[in-house]
Amino acid sequence: MFRIFAVLAIFVCQTLGASAQNPAGPITAKSGMVVCVSPPAAEVGVKILKKGGTAVDAAVAVAFAEAVTHPQAGNIGGGGFMLVYPGDSREPVFFDYRERAPLKISADTLAQEKDMLNHRAVGVPGTVRGMELAHKKFGKLPWKDLLLPAVKLAEEGFLIEKSLASALNSYVARSKSFAGFQKYFAKPDGTKWQEKDRLVQKDLAITLNAIATQGAEGFYAGKVAELIVAEMARGKGLITLEDLKAYEAKERQPLHSSYRGYDIIGSPPVSSGGTAIIEMLNILENYDLKKMGRWSPEANHLIIESMRRAFRDRAEFLGDPDFNTINPELITKSYGKKLAGQIDLSKATPSLSLAGNIDVQKESKQTTHFSIVDASGMAVSNTYTLEETFGSRIVVDGAGFLLNNEMGDFNTKPGVTNTYGRIGTKPNLIQPGKRMLSSMSPTIVAQNGHAVLVTGSPGGRTIINTTLNVILNVIDFDMDVQAAVNAPRSHQQWLPDTVSFERSSNPEFLSMIESLKKMGHTIKWENSQGDAHSIWIDPKSHLRYAGVDTRIEGKGAGY
């Protein structure tokens, strides 16, 4: 099924005895594989696997390493989700470490905020608790051993990649009013960052060492917690010691479905990703996409229409399951077939015609994903975030880490849903202690009791559709995992009523775009969508194939 095609040269690493660049296609490994945006973090992860660590051990090490080496999104001041497929006939587990709203907040607290780059936009961080919870259930190596590589990277520094140098220069220039950001991320001599410069983060090393030696309590209590609260006080933020003490990561049951003979294991609410992806797959299963062809207007029209309907339902029904009853019909085959029957095969459906009881008013992103598979077949799909690039741009003084601005993922203006994409429906309104709705979609596809595809992406609401694109490319269109990751992506989110595509010079692709326009789709172009670091595990040979996404930076490391 999977053919290895030549692709453009990409920076990847194959560790089958020795490291080497491999521009020829997906890189392979016999035992363990780590694929992520940060090359130093990938190396940390594969070393943990070689020491006998589980995929979860490696995930913990990669997550903390990326808090150092990929500060745009890697974090201890944010939150996210980890999906674990243990193998050995054990049930998959989903760890929800999404941020929570502070206890001293109300539904309209942020309604008048012009942006979310302030202390009031910070949600209670969940990453450290989430990593600890996953490690307690599936870890094998000592916790401290998983943290020390990140401590070393922060204490001694590391040589930065071109993408990080560019991001630092850009955000230092536009963040003059953020004293902490300037203190910790402006180059000490005042010049611009260059590729191969060394970034040293001494205060972050001290914080990470506290977590290494004390566990999550080294973050949620004691000196680090006091520094967080002091930072909140400086900017009139809302997080208190009580918020930090009360924060809990949750172990939830993943969503399960099937698609063309494969098992789909997806993210449950408060992620909207699993619900939306399963709903879209249930619609598309009613059509022979493979026969139509990847760049046919017929297939892409159906993909767009499935996206439109899933995102419409996302707006009405989804939010924190601890505060809402989630409609179980959304992921049923019968509901997917019903929606499929409503699609006009010849023309686009106007999004507003699907609004129903959602009152739509007319008006005149940074996350990171990594995938890991260990020698036993345990697979981890992890997506975590600070929300925007470098989050709120607020650094906890004395602790050296960035805080999120996730409160903007709530529906901050109750009742206000508009054609520009703002959603104001009840399930995702702000409430004290509530988790904000997320699009993060760590996903695992399995067959006959074994994981075969581990995928996910950053990108705000585009995360869901980036992940869908990768799944369809592999299952319906017979692409190898690297080709599936490389292929141009599409996105439709109900409102605004437009379809975005990554650019391609492929004549068949360009012809498809013109046909979609004639069908009534409004097309816009995006230079880049997502960063879907994925792994394919061949069900016959059990070789691991890395799909490294170089839209930002990327590396696959295996053995």
Give the integer Cα–Cα distance in Å for 468 and 306.
Answer: 11
Give the integer Cα–Cα distance in Å for 452 and 542.
Answer: 9
Who's near 518: CB < 8 A, 6+ residues apart?
none
**Cβ(129)–Cβ(247) below 8 Å:** yes
What's the farthest any 2 CA atoms get from each other in the chain? 63
Encoding tokens for residue 501? 């595509």
| SS (HEC) of 217-274 | HHHHCHHHHHHHHHHHHHCCCCCCHHHHHHCCCEEECCEEEEECCEEEEECCCCECHH
19 assigned to a ligand binding site: no
Out of 367, 368, 455, 550, which one is annotated catalytic? 367
460 assigned to a ligand binding site: yes
Give the integer Cα–Cα distance in Å for 422 and 322.
Answer: 23
DSSP H helices, 417-498, are: 462-475, 481-486
Q: Using alpha carbons only, how large is the chain's radius of gyration in Å?
A: 22
271 assigned to a ligand binding site: no
547 assigned to a ligand binding site: no
Exposed (0-12), middle (13-18) or buried (19+): which is 328, by Cβ within 10 Å? exposed
Q: Is 367 tagged catalytic?
A: yes
Nearest Cα to Cα of residue 541 among 89, 84, 28, 15: 28
439 assigned to a ligand binding site: yes
Looking at the annotation, which residues are catalytic?
A: 367
Please report, in range form, the residues annotated as the binding site for L-glutamate.
98, 409, 438-439, 460
Please report, in range form, the residues annotated as the binding site.
98, 409, 438-439, 460
